[in-house]
Amino acid sequence: MSEAGRPRVVVLTGAGVSAESGLPTFRDDDGIWRRFDPRQVATADAMRRNRAQALAFFDEIRRASWAAEPNAAHRAIAELERRFDVDVVTQNIDELHERAGSSRVLHLHGRLHWARGSGPQPAFVRIDDRPIAPDERCAHGTLLRPDVVLFGEDVPLIDQAAGLMRAADRVLVVGTSLSVWPAAGLVLQARRAQQRVLVALDVDDEPPGYDFRRGRAGEVVPQIVAQWLG
Ligand code: NAD
């Protein structure tokens, strides 16, 4: 329970929650994934050695994310705040949870609509949907880069997310294949939760103790939320 006496809910989301908003997961083989392999352009090494192409990849997904609208799953998750103390922990770099009305959103893998310098104490810049120029620098003089966690980089918010999972009374996991670590390990932290539900089209391994509801997030999540709101 939270200090206000409301049950604590953590909603852990991945790319699948935004798929019905028109933002493809990395596993789908349509759209920009034919021209870019995310694992080639979204690595720390690519950002240093292959900067123009890495920036072009993020410019393109930033434009798509800006144009997308929250779907029924994002909206239902925001509705949970009527009864519960809710934290959304998302692997997504889009802002669709915030735009649907969720008030506490922890972006484990960063934020697409922000940029930051590459130094140890970077300045942050709100960029909305605009591109980052290859020679653009932050106020501290280091090269600007997307404020996202690239493959091979640390996930600085992982301990904070694990603490939220450990304190949760209920957990709803949506649209993640549970194949990206360390985020995937978070599901195992929810030991005291009385209810644990996982919604996805498919997962690599079903985590123990979860009720797996196979289906589209936009259909299944509103049903679960309606049940939980009673
Ligand atoms: P992933 O494999 O974890 O996500 C795909 C999962 O979503 C699968 O389990 C799939 O079954 C499920 N899924 C797909 N469509 C769904 C739907 N309509 N309803 C319910 N579930 C659905 O993630 P990934 O695509 O391999 O990406 C890896 C990393 O990249 C993660 O950090 C991810 O969040 C990030 N990413 C973010 C965005 C975004 O910000 N919108 C988009 C692509 C990738």
Residue of 97, 109, 113, 140 marked catalytic = 109
Provide the pLDDT for residue 26: 81
Provide the pLDDT for residue 179: 85
Please choose, from the candidates 76, 80, 108, the residue with its C-alpha nearest in 3D space to the C-alpha of residue 94: 108
The mean of the pLDDT values for the chain is: 94
Please choose, from the candidates 96, 97, 36, the residue with its C-alpha nearest in 3D space to the C-alpha of residue 65: 96
DSSP 132: P
Residues whose beta carbon lies within 6 Å of some atom of ligand 1:
14-16, 18-20, 23, 25-27, 91-94, 109, 175-177, 179-180, 199-203, 216-217
Q: Could you tell me if residue 207 is left (phi over 0), alpha (psi between -120 and 50 degrees) or otherwise beta?
A: beta
Q: Give the closest residue (by CA) to ligand 1 atom 39.
A: 92
pLDDT digits (tens, 9 = 90+) for 148-198: 999 999 999 999 999 999 999 999 999 998 988 888 899 999 999 999 999
Provide the pLDDT for residue 203: 86
Q: For residue 200, report the distance from its CA to the centre of ligand 1, in Å.
A: 9
Burial 173-212 (b: 16+ CB within 10 A, else e): bbbbbbebeebbebbebbeebebbbbbbeebeeebeebee
At residue 188, φ and ψ (nearest 5 deg) are -80, -10
Q: Are strands 144-148 and 110-117 parallel, antiparallel or unpaired?
A: antiparallel
Q: For residue 5, report the distance from its CA to the centre of ligand 1, in Å.
A: 33
113 in catalytic set: no
Residue 195 in tokens: 């209810």
